[in-house]
Structure 1
């Protein structure tokens, strides 16, 4: 049976799935005295399927690596690939069990160590920590990655949350100036000025019937990402640490949701990094070094303009 940990305060009710990659099963906020799903809720039958969770962790890379071929200098490592698109996708940890180090009504801390598994899809040893906690109207996510190997390696991480999409969509504001041109969901070069279809620098809605799967960058770190639900008079703000240089926006047409994914590296960022593209967002960890980042979700009333 899946181990579900529920965190709750006066503003949030969230479900955490340690056995499914430290993912999220649901994220609800108070509205008119009831709990309202803002994160796309997971059916109980899908608690063990990270792809159908409300959100999952991507690590030690985010999104895709072309052909699963990890190139580091003069070395190349062949990673296992997914059958549907032939890439190494979304890291390795989202389908692994994580250890619950501590938890209470509003907080949970989980750990992961790749040395505990013989088949991790990455050629270097690493450990990780995931913390979720509630603080007043904020739902806070903190992720850390540590190099446990005896040599440096490039890495990245991110979150893949799905937010509910209603008849009025939500309205989006994403303060980014650039986007990567994607082919088969992977970046092909340095970022370009943002296109009209994903220019969300001003609050606006998604277009009906238009599929979006875009990688945005050049984020204004002083401004939050905003998702506004006018019919519920509710605004969700996402504030992500500067390490999360990229934001993927993806409209899932099969389920009523939109993914807004903060991630450190670009799609196929490892190959961009090897090409010397500075915006790739890949970081290199020395032995014993840790990289970490926090994403903060807060809600507030929205009355419109």
Structure 2
């Protein structure tokens, strides 16, 4: 399938969207310098290889893709190929989105899910992109269009170029994971993972969810003279920091809930972040990416 770009531009900033490829961001640049990871050499192949994609109606993993809700057992979605054991990142990035409005500096994309495959409930997801001379705002909205209530969540999965980058943010606790990357135990953040004073990301190997997040993170590339400040609405109370060794990117993902949150809540975790959406109800939040020249 050939995928066409939808391009927004404002001052030095350019945003390339790929609606038919998971509603993903292909490029986000400042005077040609990438702020998100650029597409790979093979081009527009998969949303998860691009610069940013939506996490809807849940973030990260659900153990074996299974959960119980309202006394009923459900399968949350496909297991593999990204993770051979668990369902991951929801439906949105796997399917085409429809452009319902667009202009030189703004666009609205919609994904309609019927519940037949993947997430077992029907819903409508919206991404609204608003570009200015100084930044990008992404607003996500999830609406329950099923006849049943369901547990819900949202998130964004931006990938930042790692070379020369530092990350500054604050979260007092993190969730230690098992060998399959499922959360086991909430613990105080150790000094090696304390980003309050800024950390060089080339030195960090990490894939964990942090709680009590300040909802603000600064990515700075001193060699490029640029910084990107990510500020999230209050619903995004957690952040997943993913920094694999040997890769040229890292992620700081604003999310509404913990990894495997539905099952953690069932096990008694009170601050999982899961939101129960009744039919017709919506969950909505925005993330601002503000760009500055240092």
Q: Would you say same fold, with TM above 0.5?
A: yes
Aligned partner (choices 42, 46, 49) of residue 46 of structure 2: 49
Matches within 5 A, 1:223-234: 224-234=216-226
Counterpart-to-counterpart distance in 1, 2:27 and 2:245: 19
Cα deviation, 1:67-88, whole Å, max 9, x if unaligned, reads 1112214211124311543101
Instruction: Give the secondary structure class of the aligned counterpart of 1:181.
Output: strand
Instruction: Give the secondary structure class of the aligned counterpart of 1:279.
Output: coil
Matches within 5 A, 1:10-21: 10-21=11-22
Name the Cα RMSD after superposition. Answer: 1.6
The alignment status of 1:153 with 2:150, answered yes or no, reads yes
**Residue segments in structure 2 that go unaligned for 5+ positions in a row:** none
Counterpart-to-counterpart distance in 1, 2:188 and 2:231: 23
Matches within 5 A, 1:25-174: 25-30=26-31, 35-43=32-40, 45-79=42-76, 80-83=78-81, 84-115=83-114, 119-166=116-163, 168=164, 170-174=165-169
**Residue segments in structure 1 that go unaligned for 5+ positions in a row:** none
The alignment status of 1:216 with 2:210, answered yes or no, reads yes
Instruction: Give the secondary structure class of the aligned counterpart of 1:188.
Output: strand
- 1:225 Cα deviation (Å)? 0.6
Counterpart-to-counterpart distance in 2, 1:225 and 1:122: 30
Cα deviation, 1:74-116, whole Å, max 9, x if unaligned, reads 211124311543101110111211110010111110111112x
Equivalenced residue count is 290
Aligned partner (choices 166, 170, 175) of residue 175 of structure 1: 170
In structure 2, the CA distance between the partners of 1:242 and 1:203, relative to structure 1 (3 Å rule), is same
Counterpart-to-counterpart distance in 1, 2:267 and 2:70: 10
TM-score relative to the length of structure 1: 0.90
| 1:73/1:274 contact within 8 Å kept | no
| 1:25/1:54 contact within 8 Å kept | yes
Counterpart of 1:6 in structure 2 is 7
Instruction: Give the secondary structure class of the aligned counterpart of 1:143.
Output: strand
Counterpart-to-counterpart distance in 2, 1:48 and 1:286: 36
Instruction: Give the secondary structure class of the aligned counterpart of 2:93.
Output: helix
